Structure 1
Amino acid sequence: MVYDVSIIGSGPAGLSAAIYAKRANLSAIVIEKEYEGTGQIAESSRVDNYLGMPGISGYDLGETFREHAVKLEVEFLEQEVTRIQKEESGQFQMTFSDSSVIESKTVIYAAGASPRRADIPGEKEYVGKGVSYCAICDGSFYRGKKVAVLGGGDTALDDAGYLAGLAEQVYVIHRRKEFRGAAATVEKLREKENVTFVLEHQVKEITGEAKVTGVALEDGTAIDVDGVFVAFGSVPQTALVKDLVELDPAGYVKADETGETSLAGLYVAGDVRTKKLRQVVTAVSDGANAATAVAEYLK
């Protein structure tokens, strides 16, 4: 069987694409490498910014998305794609880790991006309990509290600026004296009374009990905080398509809101795409747009 569309990734973008593909009467298959996976959203202890579902856990939100797709009889395949190839016929062939293959007329690539980790003691233990990788997602939980932002690039500086409007105190901890991020942003942060720069220092450990209570620096200094935002940026999962489509300098796939890439028939959706805001709501929107674009392409 040749599917109308193969959707790689079962996070919010992929599941949204699947729902819209089914509603457009397309034969679609969702390929996921994790058993009944729903993407990174499952790691969030609480999601407060998805319309109509305030306070829902990321796991429950992901399961709700998946149940919707299952009710529409979306086909799922638990496999890891190791190669995507466009054939002379114009169709796509997906090769899996067990050497099996399937073919489809189009592909929606929704493999997402992963946050860069700090890889320090306490980080894994307190994810969802004070450690976060997304200031826009979780910043509101720290209104009037003290937080630390780790990093010196644009992600860290932008997160610090956002959090300064919510938190009582923001500590920007960076291992160097100079920042990689925009100098103009640094100057704006220096003007804020509740932002403190802790430069030429590294966090040795994130400390806490039931939740985060502070960070320990390598020189023995301890800073009391209620939350730690690891802001080292993200790693787009684009290895499979880097030789097929055009990427931006950061490694994300260049595509507008239709998800159309530089290779006809291959679309992207979600965090893997070049864009400013990477949230559940934008991933869902991307999936809908990509599936709609696929339907028009196939006509």
Structure 2
Amino acid sequence: MDFSLNLGVLDEGKLQKIDENKLYDVAVIGAGPAAVSSAIYAARKGLAVAMVGVKVGGQVLDTNEIENIIGTVSTTGSKFAETLHNHLKEYEIAFKEGHVVKEILLDGKDKIFVTDDGKKYKTKTIILATGAKPRSLNIPGEAEYVGKGVHYCSTCDGPFYKGLDVAVIGGGNSGVEAALDMSGIAKNVTLIEFMPELKADKVLQEKLAQRENVNVILNSATTEVLGTEFVENLKYKNRATDEEKTLKLDGIFIEVGLSPSSEIVKDLVELNKVGEIVINPLNNETSVEGIFAAGDVTSIKQKQIIVAMGEGAKAALSAFDYLITKY
């Protein structure tokens, strides 16, 4: 009789441990939607797949409500990440969870990827799906108050500001979503957008207009974060009049987009001026033969979950084509 469940052993399905002595067909770097899609599609092609990532879901875990996954009317980031993990467990994929890749080396046609614990693994092809991280404002006081009133994830840190006054910086989808999220927690929410109008989807703007405790300030640049031990004030300047004002608050959530997590390949593959991995849109191949990329780390314009998953599948199918025609 199997007593593994009683012993508290985590059920990882068909997932395997990664093997230093094995030459893999495909190594997927990352664990978000694009990475999971790549790994599953590669495994379905009968390829030997290795995968390295911190936690299945990636940025999705920092998202509260998700309503734009076709076929799923509404879900949360944590629930969606769980479905990704459950699907991943249906395949014999070697998954090294809780780790990141620190270096990628070329070895003839093959590639070697080195993880943060110093272990080296060999693969024929690589799919880079490392995603992106929140972009900072780079203004005085921002770095000093990170975790002391300055945050980049309302889902993660918003509950600490129940009944308090907060600001959200950014009028795109992520900023408006954060303001909506915080409007149900904080006493007052001030949304500051750099451009003369919000950039978020119409449906999100309509929802925002219904929230009585949200004030929107347009065409204004956030200039400085002030405080003592914790954040106390935020300075911003109207771009049309140059008038500078100070807003008294308890917390700031910065939602001004994402910065691609491409550091490990900055000297290996071509990047564009904002650090995104440049790919051939037809097959997701990078400037290095046998290295592919997918999702938010790439130069593809649309940064959406469903797009990342499609790109991940395309990268895996392209890696398969490469292996049977060029390797």
Gapped regions of structure 1 (runs ≥ 5) = 173-195, 206-214
Q: How many residues align?
A: 256
Q: In 1, Cα distance between the equivalents of 2:88 and 2:196? A: 35
When the two structures are superposed, what TM-score results if normalisation uses the length of structure 1? 0.74
Identity %: 27
Q: Which residue of 1 aligns with 2:154?
A: 127
Aligned CA distance change for structure 1 residues 21 and 126 (closer, same or farther; 3 Å)? closer
Q: CA deviation at 1:221?
A: 3.4
Q: Is the 8 A contact 1:160 1:170 kept in 2?
A: no
Q: Which residue of 1 aligns with 2:57?
A: 38
Q: Is the 8 A contact 1:9 1:111 kept in 2?
A: yes
Q: Which residue of 2 aligns with 1:23?
A: 44
Aligned CA distance change for structure 1 residues 232 and 161 (closer, same or farther; 3 Å)? closer
Q: In 1, Cα distance between the equivalents of 2:296 and 2:23? A: 27
Q: Cα RMSD (Å) of the superposition?
A: 3.3
When the two structures are superposed, what TM-score results if normalisation uses the length of structure 2? 0.68
Gapped regions of structure 2 (runs ≥ 5) = 1-21, 159-165, 184-188, 236-244
Determine which of 91, 102, 122 is the counterpart of 1:82. 102
Q: Which residue of 2 aligns with 1:184?
A: none
Q: CA deviation at 1:137?
A: 5.1
What amino acid does structure 2 have at the position aligned with 1:161? K
Determine which of 237, 244, 247 is the counterpart of 1:221. 247
Q: Is the 8 A contact 1:135 1:159 kept in 2?
A: no
SS of match in other structure, 2:288: coil
Q: Max radius of gyration: which structure?
A: 2
Question: Is residue 2:306 matched to residue 1:281?
Answer: yes
Q: In 2, Cα distance between the equivalents of 1:74 and 1:2? A: 13
Q: Is the 8 A contact 2:134 2:152 kept in 1?
A: no
Q: CA deviation at 1:163?
A: 6.2
Aligned CA distance change for structure 1 residues 134 and 6 (closer, same or farther; 3 Å)? farther
Question: Is residue 2:268 matched to residue 1:268?
Answer: no
Q: Which residue of 2 aligns with 1:8?
A: 29
Question: Is residue 2:73 matched to residue 1:54?
Answer: yes
Q: In 2, Cα distance between the equivalents of 1:265 and 1:203? A: 45
Q: In 1, Cα distance between the equivalents of 2:306 and 2:312? A: 10
Q: What is the correspondence of 1:1-299 to structure 2 with a 5 Å cutoff? A: 1-32=22-53, 34=54, 36-78=55-97, 79-88=99-108, 90-117=109-136, 119=142, 120=145, 121-124=148-151, 127-128=154-155, 129=158, 135-136=172-173, 139=176, 142=180, 148-149=191-192, 152=194, 157=195, 160-162=198-200, 165-166=205-206, 167-168=208-209, 171-172=216-217, 196-199=218-221, 201-202=223-224, 204=226, 216-218=233-235, 220-222=246-248, 230-257=254-281, 258-299=283-324
Aligned CA distance change for structure 1 residues 86 and 133 (closer, same or farther; 3 Å)? farther
Q: Is the 8 A contact 2:170 2:176 kept in 1?
A: no
